[in-house]
Amino acid sequence: MDFLKLTVHELRDKLRNGEITSEEIVKGYFDRLEKLEDKLDSFLTITKKEAIKEAKKIDERLKNGEKLGDLAGIPVAIKDNIVTKDIKTTCGSKILEDFIPPYNATIIEKLKSEGAIIIGKTNLDEFAMGSSTENSAYKVTKNPWDLTRVPGGSSGGSAAAVASGEVPYALGSETGGSVRQPASFCGLVGLKPTYGLISRYGLVAFASSFDQIGPFTKDVEDLAIVLNNIIGYDKMDTTSVEVEKKDYKNALKDDIKGLKIALPKEYFDEGINKEVKGKVLKAVKVLEDLGAKVDEVSLPHSDYGLATYYVLAPSEASSNLSRFDGIRYGSRVKDYDSLDELFIKTRSEGFGEEVKRRVMMGTYCLSSGYYDEYYNKAQKVRTLIKKDFDDIFKEYDVIISPTTPSLPFKIGERNDDPLAMYMSDILTVSVNIAGVPALSIPCGLIDGLPVGLQIIGKAFDEETIIKVAYNYEKNSDFILEPKMGGDINEL
Amino acid sequence: MSISKEDVKHVARLARLDFDKEDIEDFTKKFASVVDYVEKLSEVDTEGVEPTYHVHPIKNVMREDKVCKSLDRKESLRNAPDKENGYFKIPRVLD
Q: Do B17 and A307 touch (CB under 8 A)?
A: no
SS3 sequence of B76-92: HHCCCCCEECCEECCCC
User: A91 touching B, CB under 8 A?
Assistant: no
Interface touch B46/A363, C-beta < 8 Å: no
ipTM: 0.96
Distance in Å, alpha carbon of B6 to nearest chain A alpha carbon: 13
Residue A329 lies inside a defined structural domain of this protein:
no
User: Looking at residue A155, what DSSP letter applies?
Assistant: S
A234 forms bridges with which residues in the sheet?
A: A237
Given this model, what pLDDT does residue A488 score? Answer: 56
Q: Which of A93, A132, A178, A318 is catalytic?
A: A178
Q: Strand B87-88 vs strand A212-217: parallel, antiparallel, or unpaired? A: unpaired
User: Quick check: A304 and B46 in contact, CB under 8 A?
Assistant: no
Mean pLDDT of all residues in A26-39: 96
Residue at B68 is within a domain: no
Q: A191 with A197: CB under 8 angstroms?
A: no
Q: Is A426 helix (H, G, I), strand (E, B) or coil?
A: coil
A338 annotated active-site = no
Name beta bridge partners: A171.
A78, A215
How does pLDDT run across A107-150, given as a tens digit for each residue? 999 999 999 999 999 999 999 999 999 999 999 999 999 999 99
Q: Does some domain include residue A315? A: no
**Dihedral sign from CA coordinates of A473, A474, A477, A482:** positive
CB A351 within 8 A of CB A242: no
- Indicate whether B34 belongs to any domain: yes
- Among A93, A132, A136, A154, which one carries the catalytic annotation? A154
Q: How many domains does chain B have?
A: 1
**Domain presence at residue B32:** yes
The pLDDT value given to residue A196:
96
Pick from B22, B38, B49 the residue to mutate for testing the A interface (most A CBs within 10 Å). Answer: B38
Domain extent for A96: 8-262+394-490
Catalytic residue list contains A79:
yes
pLDDT at residue A173, as a whole number: 98
Cα A271 to chain centroid distance, Å, stands at: 24
pLDDT confidence tier of residue B74, bands split at 50, 70 and 90: very high
Is residue B76 in some structural domain?
no
Return d(Cα A93, Cα A147) in angstroms, integer. 23
Domain membership of residue B33 (yes or no) is yes
Q: Say yes or no to pLDDT of A288 above 80.
A: yes
Cα–Cα dist A42/A461, whole Å: 32
**Looking at the domain assignment, is residue A47 inside a domain?**
yes
User: What pLDDT is attached to residue A490?
Assistant: 54
Evaluate whether residue A29 is within a structural domain.
Answer: yes
Here the CATH number for the domain that contains residue A120 is 3.90.1300.10
- List all residues of chain A from 218 to 257 with a beta carbon under 8 Å from chain B: 235, 238-239, 241
Is A110 among the domain residues? yes
Q: Is residue A298 part of a domain?
A: no
A155 is catalytic: no
Taking the CA atoms of residue B22, residue B24, residue B25 and residue B30 in that order, the dihedral angle to the nearest 10 degrees is 130
Number of domains in chain A: 1
Q: What are the C-alpha distances in Å from A64 to residues A12, A20, A22, A24, A67?
A: 17, 16, 14, 18, 9
A377 neighbourhood in chain B, CB within 8 Å: 41-42, 44, 46
Per the domain annotation, does B10 fall within a domain?
yes
The answer, yes or no, to whether residue A478 has pLDDT greater than 90, is no
Residues in chain B closer than 8 A to A343 (CB atoms): 16
User: What pLDDT is attached to residue A197?
Assistant: 97
Q: What's the full length of chain B, in residues?
A: 95
pLDDT at A245: 84
Q: How far apart are CA A476 and CA A287, in angstroms?
A: 10
Of B35, B41, B91, the CB nearest to A377: B41
A360 vs B31, B51, B91: nearest CB: B31
- Is A324 within a domain? no
Proportion of chain A above pLDDT 70, given as a percent: 98
Round to whole Å and give the CA distance between A131 and A153: 4
Identify the closest residue of chain B to A335 by CA–CA distance. B91
Q: State pLDDT tens for residues A389-432.
A: 999 999 999 999 999 999 999 999 998 899 999 999 999 999 99
- Position A357 in a domain: no
Cβ B40–A304 below 8 Å, yes or no? Answer: yes
Q: Which domain holds residue B33?
A: 5-43
Whether A311 contacts chain B with CB within 8 A: yes
User: Poorest-confidence range of A176-180, A227-231, A482-486, B68-72?
Assistant: A482-486
Q: Is the pLDDT of residue A1 over 90?
A: no
d(Cα A181, Cα A282) in Å, to the nearest integer? 20
Q: Residue B70 domain-assigned?
A: no
Whole-number pLDDT of residue B1? 55
Amino acid at A141: T
pLDDT of residue A481: 79
Provide the β-strand partners of residue A213: A173
Q: Is residue B57 part of a domain?
A: no
pLDDT digits (tens, 9 = 90+) for A194-234: 999 999 999 999 999 999 999 999 999 999 999 999 999 99
Question: Any CB–CB contact under 8 A between A331 and chain B?
Answer: yes
